[in-house]
Structure 1
């Protein structure tokens, strides 16, 4: 797909504070692209520049081949859906959706047809005559989405679109958003601090920290192949250890890991012997057992455990004092826990499960 949105070297400063630093991104038409990061990372400032509410201090933004410099928000083929939804409480669902169309060159009949189309799209036709306080939070979210899509924008910007919903409704609405986007073909840019939301919704994700993009990739690439310690630790749970490359041979690295009191084998990475690196392990990649398994293994004591139904989380203290998290899937109903508090256990992992990072 051709680049539909191009962000070229964009920076934004507020006095001495630089909120966005030299960001370059390309987004394809029809993508759901997420800007993911913690509070203050610059993701919302970048979104506001795309909407035209802020002007870049440096750099350029192109949308569908057109330079957005000097183009005011109302003249851009862009709509922004705010976290609060900003619905008019005194208007019906139908009137809220219709409101954004009043300045468009549509006849009353065309406007009614467009509103009906949007109500059908978001499956809210039965609620058309209700007011926002008479519908659920998830339905209000869909009203705001329908109002945004009614003007047929080329680009829809969503600022923390699901933050006001409870966990179960948020998970359900994520799939509704994906379905609606697939049916309309509109390009979505989603700002979120919720890594699970970004992983579920997105075709690609840009992970941001302190105004800069740290990595861009698919959810699988971001999770399985992080480029640095920040991305590895921000996306999902992970435990990191200092290590040193001992040997590199036949597609494998041999690492000395002081916290393990010995060596482990990982898949090959571009590090020469003698290089200091970070060994990172995801909890679900670790296998807990009472007996020592072959291959990469380290012994520890169960310090804490938590039962979540579908799986259990173990926090295990190694002899070095390092604390490691491991997940065990509860496959059988009512099955005994893999281990209990204060049990001595072994943690093992496959060479391909380890992430090796510089530094």
Structure 2
């Protein structure tokens, strides 16, 4: 038998192994199906569909009036959907009242009883639970230890700080061991430094309990810090869902790109496009820009070019790489960790550029000063192309 024939016989005798089976995607813990909520002629939430996995910290992010709190209230049972269904842990909750749902809600105001001690505030949510007095006391101690308030058990709300009151409200909400905890602007009442610290405390507590959290917030940094995933909302609709990196680095629309962080927008026209890169004409730059391509580009197509200020490099000398343009420093602001430069292009357009202050002031000169001639440059991968 020839070598090729022998090889063919061997293959026939030993058929190829089957491809390994892919792990089945777990069923979503929360499933929202085509939910709409109308108040008279006003549509607060419009045809929202969403899946959230067990153990996630999921944020609903948007400005005032975008529908995020209305959606949260429908999950809690305080509002009924006009259309659509809501499932939690496989059970249809759409028509169930709040007290029959495995859900608890932490309100923005915290709603603590001022005449009760911290201990009694935490215990209040357990008074209708089927527990003995000893079991309730054990649960309260467990919750106070979880939020590190054991030593404050006998104080009243006015005798503790804002951050501690926030943790009391969280302990009370978790005491009933809900499957789902809804948090409505939970950190809005705290100052910036305390809010940043408490974000990590919330993440640590959620990790210890394994409870699924849904957070409503208008604060972009809060949503990006807390969330395993987030949904950006506008006018009752979900505009994009993804991780903080997905939404910040790869926005799917001009609205999302402008809502998350700072960004520069430019009108552009597609000149050429391949599967990897695109060349676009940008009149305000006075030339062409090379960018990472997106699907569906055709020559002559009008498009938006977006570049985040921290993705732009600023220098006194010209960079010979792609996307290098001359300008003049019109304004600058020093923020400590970084400086914001406003660079005026020959077209008159002003571009925002962030530069990190890696060294202490006085150890070296600024990258540039007022009215200096400079060059700005950015990598093609930093240039975001948007169709709307």
TM bucket, shorter chain: over 0.9
Deviation digits for residues 269-308 of structure 1 (CA, Å, limit 9, x no counterpart): 2112221111000010000011121211122221211111
- Runs (4+) of structure 1 exceeding 6 A deviation are none
- 1:122 and 1:298 map into 2 onto residues whose CA distance is 53
- 2:188 and 2:123 map into 1 onto residues whose CA distance is 25
Give the corresponding residue for 1:305. Answer: 332
> 1:41-120 counterparts in 2 under 5 A?
41-120=66-145
User: Bigger CA drift: 161-170 or 335-344?
Assistant: 335-344
Deviation digits for residues 148-201 of structure 1 (CA, Å, limit 9, x no counterpart): 000000000000000000000000000000000000000000000000000000
Give the corresponding residue for 1:190. Answer: 215
- 1:170 and 1:40 map into 2 onto residues whose CA distance is 23
Give the corresponding residue for 2:346. Answer: 319
Deviation digits for residues 35-80 of structure 1 (CA, Å, limit 9, x no counterpart): 0000000000000000000000101000001111220011111001
Give the corresponding residue for 1:281. Answer: 307
Give the corresponding residue for 1:344. Answer: 373
- 1:239 and 1:59 map into 2 onto residues whose CA distance is 38
- 2:243 and 2:159 map into 1 onto residues whose CA distance is 39
SS of the equivalent of 1:174 reads: helix
- 2:101 and 2:131 map into 1 onto residues whose CA distance is 18
Give the corresponding residue for 2:358. Answer: 331
Give the corresponding residue for 1:178. Answer: 203
Q: CA deviation at 1:332?
A: 1.1
> 1:79-228 counterparts in 2 under 5 A?
79-228=104-253
When Rg is computed on C-alpha atoms for both structures, the one with the higher figure is: 2
The alignment yields a C-alpha RMSD, in angstroms, of 0.9
SS of the equivalent of 1:87 reads: coil
TM-score of the aligned structures, taking structure 2 as reference length: 0.91
Give the corresponding residue for 2:7. Answer: none
- 1:205 and 1:78 map into 2 onto residues whose CA distance is 20
Give the corresponding residue for 2:385. Answer: 356
SS of the equivalent of 1:62 reads: strand
- 2:365 and 2:27 map into 1 onto residues whose CA distance is 53
Deviation digits for residues 330-358 of structure 1 (CA, Å, limit 9, x no counterpart): 11112321111111211100011111110
- 1:50 and 1:44 map into 2 onto residues whose CA distance is 10
Aligned length: 359
TM-score of the aligned structures, taking structure 1 as reference length: 0.99
- 1:184 and 1:66 map into 2 onto residues whose CA distance is 22
1:292 aligns with 2:318: yes
- 1:38 and 1:134 map into 2 onto residues whose CA distance is 33
1:229 aligns with 2:229: no
Q: CA deviation at 1:268?
A: 2.0
Long gaps (5+) in structure 1: none
1:272 aligns with 2:298: yes
Q: CA deviation at 1:250?
A: 6.3
- 2:351 and 2:132 map into 1 onto residues whose CA distance is 64
- 1:134 and 1:71 map into 2 onto residues whose CA distance is 38
SS of the equivalent of 1:3 reads: coil
- 1:96 and 1:54 map into 2 onto residues whose CA distance is 26
- 2:39 and 2:192 map into 1 onto residues whose CA distance is 35
SS of the equivalent of 1:103 reads: coil
- 1:228 and 1:220 map into 2 onto residues whose CA distance is 15
- 2:257 and 2:235 map into 1 onto residues whose CA distance is 16
